[in-house]
A and B are shown apart, each in its own frame.
Chain A
Amino acid sequence: MMHGNTELQVDAFLDGELDSRDSREFERHLKECRECARLHDARLALSAAIRAELPGLLAPDELKTRIRTSLRSAAGSTVSRAQRPTIGWRSLALAASLVLVAAGSWQIASDRTAREALSEQVLTSHVRSLMPGHLTDVVSSDQHTVKPWFNGKLDFSPAVYDFAEQGYPLKGGRLEYLGNRPVAALVYGRRQHLINVFLWPAGPGETGGPGSTMHQGYHLLHWTTPQFTYWVVSDLGLRELDDFARMLREADSAARL
């Protein structure tokens, strides 16, 4: 074994950067060479001390918020459409409730603005549902309890599934009012996260999606089947939320067969 760069060798060995042949050879060398063995032990101790005493840090929540806000405004300024001002949740919730009050005279300017307005309502509903006592009007993990609960409260019967086996258990449901109509809100769980699913009958000839957006750290997915328009919102990561949405769509197509 070459000496002269003992430290490099020991470090590369401990970092797992030697290939298996060199690694075996170095292990044999360690048994014979006191100098290398002592360095090896010292490096192990140093590494353990660093890992124990200098832990990785967690980014402060404040930084997370700052970054999300600045990314949104930077991304927004690169498109031609008018930038929406960043507004706090309280004012958004207030604005949304004013929209609901004025719903009778509310006119849709275009599909796009309608969808944006709807996504804001969906978000507002989601955030409001997270406040104590607002999540569910019917609390049950049994789809056969939740589905009949909507009888007489809606002019349609929502599709209710239970994905407990896949790790997304049903929590319950409630009535919501979105886009000028009463809709079904179903709540599913994923670990400590909650997912709100809003659905109502699709208009004639409407299909589309899936599409996704992100607002204030929440992911929103929406799509339209021949039967229902769906909006799904959660603070869950996009990948898991996508998985959930896919299960929902598959369950829907299976139910239609």
Chain B
Amino acid sequence: MEPNELSRFEAIVLPHLDAAYTLARYLTRHEHDAQDVVQDAYLRALKYFEGFRGAEGGDGRAWLLAIVRNTAFTWRRRYQQEAGAAEFDEQLHSERIAEVDPESELLGASARESLHQALDQLPPEFREVIVLRELQGLSYKEIGEVTGVPTGTVMSRLSRARSRLQRALYVGQEER
């Protein structure tokens, strides 16, 4: 690859590094795994860069996040096969149960932990739509591009994910 081409690639993908890292971090739930996923995704993106140029000219964010997302899912499948995911989840669950307090106010001291835990408990297909919509402000159409599902599916996943978070947090469940 010519140096100019690499510069052009970097100019497109490096501005989205924080978004890529955020998505990977929430999908893998581990800082170092997230870093490995992002690095791997950037190398894949470099390989597919030729294909991107033909694509309808977005700013590269959805394109890059789709690669990050797929890399994270591949990583997760591999990791789960190697490391017995049930046990791992079990441990997380028990920690959560200790901390989530039905009586607590949403924005009380443990809100941050509660939200993190509720989000962690979501299946990754739900978690990613929350991250993409709430943290990164993508439209339904863009989320569909990243996750490879139709807009209608994005809509229903997002709605179900929110309802689950809401239940987990007892937001809006109390009688007023």
- Residue numbers of A with Cβ under 8 A of B are 7-8, 11-12, 15, 17, 38-39, 41-43, 45-47, 49-60, 62-64, 66-68, 70-72, 74-76, 78-79, 211-214, 219, 237-239
Chain A residues with CB under 8 A of B5: 75
Label chain B's interface by main secondary structure. helix
In the complex, the answer to whether B166 meets A42 with C-beta atoms within 8 Å is yes
Q: Are A45 and B171 in contact (CB under 8 A)?
A: yes
Q: Is the interface of A mostly helix, strand, loop or mixed?
A: helix
Q: What's the nearest-Cβ distance from chain B to residue A114, in Å?
A: 15
A46-B166, A67-B39, A79-B1 given; 14 more Cβ-contact pairs under 8 Å: A17-B139, A42-B166, A43-B166, A45-B171, A46-B172, A50-B135, A54-B134, A56-B136, A57-B18, A63-B38, A74-B46, A79-B2, A213-B4, A239-B11
B159 interface residue (CB < 8 Å to A)? yes
Chain B interface size range: 35 or more
**Selected contact of B134 from candidates A50, A60, A74, CB within 8 Å:** A50
B107 in the interface (beta carbon within 8 A) = yes
Asked whether, in the complex, the Cβ of A53 is within 8 Å of the Cβ of B112, the reply is yes
Contacts A8-B155, A54-B135, A57-B18 given; does A74 touch B43 at CB 8 Å: yes
Q: Are B111 and A49 in contact (CB under 8 A)?
A: yes
6 A-B pairs closest in CB distance: A42-B172, A59-B21, A75-B1, A214-B7, A213-B3, A75-B6
- CB contacts (< 8 Å) of A62 on chain B: these are 35
Q: Is the CB of B119 within 8 A of A54?
A: yes
Q: Is the CB of A59 within 8 A of B1?
A: no
The answer to whether A219 and B7 touch (CB under 8 A), given A46-B169, A63-B39, is: yes
Residues in B with CB closer than 8 Å to A51 are 134-135
Q: How far is the CA of A212 from the CA of B11 in the complex (A)?
A: 12
Provided the pairs A57-B21, A59-B21 are in contact, do residues A75 and B155 lie with their beta carbons within 8 angstroms?
Answer: no
B100 on the interface (CB 8 Å rule)? no
- Report A-chain residues with C-beta under 8 Å of the C-beta of B19: 56
Q: A38 contacts which chain B residues (CB < 8 A)?
A: 172, 176
Chain B positions within 8 Å of A, measured between CB atoms, are: 1-7, 9-11, 14-15, 17-22, 25, 35, 38-39, 42-43, 46, 106-107, 111-112, 115-116, 119, 130, 133-136, 139-140, 155-156, 158-160, 162-163, 165-166, 169, 171-172, 176
| B115→A67 contact, CB < 8 A | no
Distance (whole angstroms) from the CB of B43 to the closest CB of chain A: 6
Q: How far is the CA of A70 from the CA of B44 in the complex (A)?
A: 11
B165's partner among A46, A74, A79, A212 (CB-CB below 8 A) is A46
**Alpha-carbon separation in the docked complex, A64 to B16 (Å):** 11
**Distance from B159 Cβ to chain A, minimum over Cβ atoms (Å):** 5
Contact B116 A54 (CB under 8 A): yes
A-B contact pairs, 18 of them (CB 8 A): A8-B155, A8-B159, A11-B159, A17-B155, A45-B172, A47-B134, A49-B106, A49-B115, A51-B135, A53-B111, A54-B112, A60-B35, A62-B35, A63-B39, A64-B14, A71-B42, A75-B3, A211-B4
For residue A63, which residues in chain B have a CB less than 8 angstroms away from its CB? 17, 21, 35, 38-39
Q: Are A67 and B38 closer than 8 Å at their CB atoms?
A: yes
- Contact indicator B7/A213 (Cβ below 8 Å): yes
